[in-house]
Amino acid sequence: MLDAAASASLPTAEEIYQGLFDNTVLGKVPDVKALTQAGLAQGMDPVKLLYDALLPALQEVGRRFETGEFFVPEMLMSARAMQGALNLLRPLLAAKGEKSIGKVVMGTVKGDVHDIGKNLCNIMLEGAGFEVIDLGVNTAPEKFVDAVRTHQPHILGMSAFLTTTMPMIKVTVEALKKAELRDTVKVLAGGAPVTDDYAVRLSGADAYCPDASATARKAKELVGVAGEAPGGALAVAVKAVEQMMGNVEE
């Protein structure tokens, strides 16, 4: 009897699809995570969850933004909800090798609390087979230095979303030099206002990465692994969030 009652209380596939769509549009992160987990627990196809609910939700968010129904805060909430679902779906959407191809330390620079772009990079890097150590947001140069010393990564990635925090890329590179660690790690930099010239020539990074796919591709190149960034449904989902965030930046 208990099993029957528990089964009866489970959401149907139709309810999960509709719930994922509605709650992603509304940016309800806990509900989106719970519904994604419920769908996977019931054996639903992760690709269908993505294409039949999550991606259409982002399209609807974009439409509402264009018509003035949604503003930047709503866009950010929806992007965060989508990101939460992707964290659960990623292992099923991108096959990972048994062995890590390299180690990456990632963080948003000091003074900056934006993390959606960085988190999308993490998803693509993990999908490509990297071990990612995420330092989070508002990361001081000293914390980056400590992480490089402790974890000995192949790559250090920095994200800056604001023009006022961009200078922290160079400050962090200089801190690595002072600690005599600069030559031990490749440095990638990116973010909405960052350019190739600013990242490489002016700040001293090894490479500029304009988006998550480019980050994974460049990381593979730097560790000497052939091949492109992850493709398929994972790349489609990440690109959809990046495109929506592009509207926020404009």
Single out the residue in 94, 127, 144 at which a domain terminates: 94
Give the model's pLDDT for residue 16: 97
Comparing C-alpha atoms, which of 138, 137, 169 is closest to residue 156? Answer: 169
CA dist 201 and 226 (Å) reads 26
pLDDT for res 2: 37
- Residue 228 located in a structural domain: no
Please indicate, yes or no, whether residues 90 and 108 belong to a single structural domain of this protein: no
Same domain, 217 and 121: yes
Question: Could you tell me the residue range of the domain that residue 21 belongs to?
Answer: 2-94
Residue 158 region by backbone torsions, left for phi larger than 0, else alpha for psi between -120 and 50, else beta: beta
Does pLDDT of 7 surpass 60?
Answer: no
Does residue 49 lie within any of the structural domains? yes
Question: Is 215 within a domain?
Answer: yes
The answer to whether 88 and 40 have CB atoms below 8 angstroms apart is yes
Would you say residue 250 lies in a domain?
no
Predicted local distance difference test score (pLDDT) of residue 246? 73
218 and 119 assigned to the same domain: yes
pLDDT tens-digit readout, 10-39: 899 999 999 999 999 999 999 999 999 999
Same domain assignment for residues 107 and 218: yes
Q: Which of 102, 98, 94, 172 is nearest to 135 (CA)?
A: 172
Q: Is residue 19 part of a domain?
A: yes
Query: How much of the chain exceeds pLDDT 90, in percent?
Result: 66
186 CB-side CA count, 13 A:
18
Contact between 175 and 147 under an 8 Å Cβ cutoff? The reply is no
Q: Which CATH number does the domain housing residue 106 bear? A: 3.40.50.280
Q: Considering the domain boundaries, does residue 249 fall inside one?
A: no
Do 27 and 86 lie in one domain? The reply is yes
Q: How many structural domains does the chain have?
A: 2
Report pLDDT digits (tens) over 26-85: 999 999 999 999 999 999 999 999 999 999 998 898 889 889 998 888 988 998 899 899
Domain of residue 60, CATH code: 1.10.1240.10
Residue that terminates a domain, selected from 94, 116, 151: 94
Q: Which pLDDT does position 4 carry in this prediction?
A: 47
With a CB cutoff of 8 Å and minimum separation 6, the contacts of 186 are 154, 155, 156, 206, 207, 222
User: Which segments of the chain does DSSP mark as H helices, in order?
Assistant: 2-9, 13-25, 29-41, 46-49, 55-66, 72-93, 116-127, 141-151, 167-178, 196, 212-222, 232-249
